[in-house]
Structure 1
Amino acid sequence: MPLRIFRSRSVSGANLVQVLVVAALFSFQVLVALYLQKVLGYGAAETGLAMLPAAVVIGAVSLGLSARLNARFGERNVLLAGIVLLVGVLALLARVPVRAGYAVDLLPVMLLAAGFGLALPALTSLDMSGASEEDAGLASGLFNTTQQIGMALGVAVLSTLAASRTESLAADGRTAAEALTGGYRLAFAVGAGLLAPAFVVALAMLRRPERQTAQEPTDDTPAPARAVTV
């Protein structure tokens, strides 16, 4: 892989932000399902239905709304707004109770997941805007690769933290539900913490290059002829 691709601030920044965001959000996709089944006692079908609102809002926002918001407010601003919503998702999950009610404790989380539908299209656009035509395929492949890396790291690190915390709480005499919930809360809190540097990197590094709208006159550019009046 030609390392010149990393000379672009947009490409480097977008890939770093993606690793952090995807790693954080896999605590949502994986651990919420485990929480629903192991703590609240949902079956597989009930778990799928419980998480369906998140899939619906993410799809609706990413396919219908994100392009208009990007055009109006700029990709970086939309990305930052999406990250803020995702912080809200994980912050709420970090306080989830052992006996959660779906409508009160979980449905708002599913709806705030719309932030992922805002963040990912904006992030993709910012990544590709920093690549030359020659490196467009390379930038796209790199972006897909870092997404997979973020998934793997997120599942491995956050699941390990959750399991370790659960074992510690169980050893202290907590019930199984309390110990599991405590482990999941820690993973959600760490996931929220991963989004803080993602926000900072996006704010500092990601700016779409301005499009050149008019050619600036130079010393070598002949001045336009002026009409002579008599």
Structure 2
Amino acid sequence: MYRNSRGRPGVVLAAAAVAQFVVALDMSVVNVALPAIRTALGFAPLDLSWVVHVYALAFGGFLLLGGRACDLYGRRRMFVLGLTAFGLCSLAGGLAQEPWHLIAARAGQGLGAAAAAPAALAMLTTTFPEGPRRVRALGVWSAVNAAGGALGVLAGGLLTEYAGWRWVMLVNLPVVAVALALVLAGVAADAAPARRERLDTPGAVLATGGVGLLVLGVVRTDTLGWRSPVTWTTLAAAAVLLAAFVLAEARAATPLLRLGLLRNRWVAGANVLVFLAAAGQFGAFYFVSLYMQQVLGMGAAATGAAFLPFSLGLVAGTVVATRVTASRTPRVSLVPGALLAATGLAWFALIRPDGGFLADVLGPSLVTSVGAGLVLAPVAAAATTGVAPPEAGMASGLMNSSRQLGGSIGLAALATVAAHHTGTAADPVALNHGYAWGLAVAAAVFALAAVVAIGVLPRRRAVTAVPQPTATATATATATATAENQREGTLS
């Protein structure tokens, strides 16, 4: 187990924010470029979706493993390793000459992101103690994360139209270089391990296989459908592996995911919240982008530019949430934020085939994005409240897994809802009808998130003082944190 090495807090925050920006950017920047990629590399129609799916598969499948590796082998080390791999694979993707070259590069990007993303969040939570300073730091991290996802659509449209699709991959290189320079120059090296612990190999295999099959089964519904035997076989295999993972973790001496961590109501509630919020937010990006291009007839660059107000609203929401929750419980921002996002998406559901940007997109974009920002900023603080430093990577990997699974599963489910109401027609009226239904269900998802925040999250902030782990105190610190979390959940 590695002792906490803080480094310079401002540099730690900058490095984590820049890294999270590029990881979030890559989640959406490729989508707008898919038609150009298909033409340039000669992708078969059914294979093109793997450019997106393989990234989600590798990223989501290895996040728990990446988070625990941060705790065992060092957060700075895993951050540098993951981000370097991400950058090299971005270069390989930009130079791809065959479809399999690009798919392999995207898989490598996902693996690198699965190491870098939990390491970045773990560095923040071990650098900034619980309280106002951590809330402010996580507010910046959340704002950058949200902006990266939203600006990815803008960047993808502009780069594809004016520079070529390869720059959708190559644009990551300077951002990765900045993040690596920051962490190498200003983040303290990982201290020597206080004691040697083995990675939970059986847990890692079961978790990676189970989550990977779950993501695979869900994302392939766009071509196979939910009624396909292949879909249900894949999901059943995922369920078996995940059930085996839970049983294995209950018996493991050094588990990949300590199940007792979920007794902390902040951790459990925040992970459900981030799952639901990601499902609603990814759905909003997807349907609004399709509405502007396929119903309103806007081009790729214009569609990307139209998401700029959404990006600004997300940042504004995170700024407000950071100030509100600096001295209060995250619950005071999560509940109104989820309700505001639900209201904005319900407004979005009123889109018209003969509508326009000002009448049908701008207003609901601002309402939805501000609400989403109010949720995204404090949910990271909630997910790490009361977590012992030796388990910071574990909690970070869990939250990132919940976000990724929520986005993948939610988007696939919402796309199915939209397709059911669209039918086989491809005219703007039919498409508009399907997209409106998808947005309405996304609004219901955010409303459910508000219910979870009200019913699960404690009314008071948990305050847990956990000593720094030593060779003899690591287990005691973890047990103390668990006991305090259980008592807080009972009292609240």
Q: TM-score band (shorter)?
A: 0.7 to 0.9
Deviates more, 1:192-201 or 1:37-46: 192-201
Deviation at 1:210, TM superposition (A): 4.5
Aligned-pair identity (%): 36
Partner of residue 192 from structure 1, selected from 443, 448, 451: 443
Residue 109 of structure 1 pairs with residue 377 of structure 2: no
Asked if the contact 1:35–1:181 (Cα under 8 Å) also holds between the matched residues in 2, the reply is yes
Structure 2 counterparts to residues 1-230 of structure 1, below 5 A? 1-62=257-318, 64-71=319-326, 73-112=328-367, 113-167=369-423, 170=425, 176-207=427-458, 208-211=460-463
Letter of the structure 1 residue corresponding to residue 423 of structure 2: E
**Gapped regions of structure 1 (runs ≥ 5):** 213-230
Distance in 1 of aligned mates of 2:386 and 2:348: 35
Q: RMSD across aligned C-alpha pairs, in angstroms?
A: 1.7
The match for 1:224 is none
Distance in 2 of aligned mates of 1:105 and 1:138: 42
Distance in 1 of aligned mates of 2:303 and 2:356: 14
Distance in 2 of aligned mates of 1:84 and 1:96: 20
SS, match of residue 408 in structure 2: helix
Deviates more, 1:28-37 or 1:69-78: 69-78
Query: Normalising to structure 2: TM-score of the pair?
Result: 0.40
Distance in 2 of aligned mates of 1:210 and 1:151: 28
The structure number with the bigger radius of gyration is 1
Deviation at 1:127, TM superposition (A): 1.2
Deviation at 1:130, TM superposition (A): 3.6
Letter of the structure 2 residue corresponding to residue 66 of structure 1: A
Letter of the structure 2 residue corresponding to residue 129 of structure 1: T
Distance in 1 of aligned mates of 2:450 and 2:313: 22
Greater relative contact order (Cα < 8 A, sep 6+): 1
Distance in 1 of aligned mates of 2:277 and 2:397: 18
Deviation at 1:211, TM superposition (A): 3.9
Distance in 2 of aligned mates of 1:135 and 1:211: 16
Distance in 1 of aligned mates of 2:387 and 2:355: 46
Deviations along 1:4-28, whole A, 9 cap, x unmatched? 1111111111101111111112111
Aligned pairs, number: 206
Distance in 2 of aligned mates of 1:130 and 1:163: 42
SS, match of residue 95 in structure 1: coil
Deviation at 1:132, TM superposition (A): 2.8
Deviation at 1:38, TM superposition (A): 0.2
Asked if the contact 1:9–1:130 (Cα under 8 Å) also holds between the matched residues in 2, the reply is no
Distance in 2 of aligned mates of 1:152 and 1:211: 34
Deviations along 1:118-159, whole A, 9 cap, x unmatched? 111111111111423332221111001110001101221111
Letter of the structure 1 residue corresponding to residue 455 of structure 2: A
From the superposition, tell whether residues 132 and 47 of structure 1 become closer, same or farther in structure 2 (CA, over 3 Å).
same
Asked if the contact 1:130–1:209 (Cα under 8 Å) also holds between the matched residues in 2, the reply is no
Distance in 2 of aligned mates of 1:133 and 1:209: 18
Distance in 2 of aligned mates of 1:88 and 1:61: 15
SS, match of residue 129 in structure 1: coil
Distance in 2 of aligned mates of 1:2 and 1:79: 26
Distance in 1 of aligned mates of 2:313 and 2:277: 18
SS, match of residue 317 in structure 2: helix
Letter of the structure 1 residue corresponding to residue 409 of structure 2: L
**Gapped regions of structure 2 (runs ≥ 5):** 1-256, 465-492
Deviation at 1:110, TM superposition (A): 1.6
Asked if the contact 2:386–2:462 (Cα under 8 Å) also holds between the matched residues in 1, the reply is no
SS, match of residue 135 in structure 1: helix
